[in-house]
Structure 1
Amino acid sequence: MYFAALLARTEDGWEASDTELDDVETLSDLTDLAHEASVDEDTVLVFIEQEDAWFALVRVEGEDDPRIYVSDAAAAARSSYGEILTNELLGGDQDDDDADLDSLDLDGTEDGEPAVVDDKEEEEEETSVSAEFVPAGPAGDREILADLGMSEKELLALGTEALGEIADALGAAEVLETVR
């Protein structure tokens, strides 16, 4: 189960809104959601959390590239939205490489001969390959909130109530709680 919210900075403080990630398939989609919530292209923070397993922050400001922080890259990579972020942080989508190899028809069969594939074996192989390339622990911009009142050290020390603690440090705990 995911929780996702947007915090947009305004002249009067922070405005929070919950958001659905159903249509988010890329970082660009997530950035577009943030831009829609932005007031005068000011800072927007996207909070994503999956059942206390991991959380992520995406910071969008104007036309700058989004800044990303993921609390546990290995855990996030095993989920659909976390995978979008970890792929961005690690410099590419591993699935694209797999698709390229599959298109080369290197499965050992003759032309026209159907390949026999054990779905369970293939699924286990994909999982272990993905986990191999993703480091456990935090990934991304550890100073993503430094200018907003939360140091790198504080960010790295966060536990299971991370989003609440972040919102509290930003002075946005009450507005975040309204959408939680």
Structure 2
Amino acid sequence: MYFAALLARTEDGWEASDTDLDDVETLADLADLAREATADYDDDTVLVFIEQDDAWFGVVRVDGEEDPRIYVSDAAAASRSSYGEILLTDEMLGRDPGTDDTVTDLDALDLDGTEDGEPEGSAEEGDGEGDVDGEGGAGVTGPVGPGGAVPAGPLGDRKILADLGVPEKDLLGLVSGDALNEIADILGAAEVLEAVR
């Protein structure tokens, strides 16, 4: 069982709508869906909330034509879901584009803040060197699993909601199940999100 909703920021606050992901096959499809939601508003910030079976949640942020920003609470759990696979891009997982095998090239993924060949602890925490997008906030927590499996734990842009009142520390502390409601409450969108559940 999954739940997905779009939250579009407007002059009067957040507007929520539930969304069906059955026809969404790629992150680009999802981003296009989000951008369509802003057609009637001056602000072009849209959040896509996805959760499945209280096992994981994901947030995708689309700001106009910029590339989507993604955060997934548990990459390993999400990787077992067709909806989660939409969010777990090759770039996030350190795979070559078009690679179908989810474990290919994961040994090369920098998940602990070190570069290949560097001993652990050589990169200072928070310096951005191990970040997925190189912008000092999209770092990954959790090591690569045995055999190069998709890592358990958070993956993606940990500062995705920082400017909206949900700092990295608070986002990482959210537990699947109530996480989306807690985020919506901080945003002042709890009632509109609840209305589309």
Letter in 1 for 2:188: G
Is contact 1:142–1:152 with CA below 8 Å preserved after alignment? yes
**Which secondary structure state, in structure 2, belongs to the residue aligned with residue 166 of structure 1?**
helix
1:95 aligned to which of 100, 115, 126: 100
Unpaired runs of at least 5, structure 2: 104-144
Q: How many residues align?
A: 150
Is the Cα–Cα contact under 8 Å of residues 4 and 48 in structure 1 kept in the other structure?
yes
Determine if the alignment matches structure 1 residue 142 to structure 2 residue 144. no
Q: 1:93 to 1:69 in 2, by over 3 A?
A: farther
Q: Residue 89 of structure 2: SS of its match in structure 1?
A: helix
Q: Render the CA deviation track for 1:35-72: whole Å, top value 9, x for unaligned.
A: 01112352100000001000000000111000000000
In structure 2, the residue matched to 1:158 is 174
Select the residue among 52, 55, 58 that pairs with 1:56.
58
Q: Which runs of 5+ in 1 are unaligned?
A: 99-128
Q: Secondary structure at the match of 1:24?
A: coil
Partner residue, 2:5? 5
The counterpart of 2:149, out of the listed 127, 130, 133, is 133
TM-score by structure 2 length?
Answer: 0.71
| CA distance in 2: counterparts of 1:78 and 1:132, whole angstroms | 15
Percent identity for Structure 1 against Structure 2: 74
Instruction: Call closer, same or farther: CA 1:93–1:53 in 2, change over 3 Å.
Output: farther
Give the structure 2 partner of residue 16 of structure 1. 16
1:66 is matched with: 68
- Residues 1:80 and 1:97: Cα distance change in structure 2 (over 3 Å): closer
**1:171 counterpart residue number:** 188
> 2:72 corresponds to which letter in structure 1?
V
Identify the structure with the greater helix proportion: 1
Contact 1:87 1:93 in 2 (8 A): no
Deviations 1:68-126 (A, max 9, x none): 0000001001110101211342144531799xxxxxxxxxxxxxxxxxxxxxxxxxxxx
Runs of 4+ in 1 over 2 A off after TM superposition: 91-94
SS state at 2:166 partner:
coil
SS of structure 1 residue aligned to 2:54: coil
Identify which of structures 1 and 2 has the higher relative contact order when contacts are C-alpha pairs closer than 8 Å and 6+ apart.
1
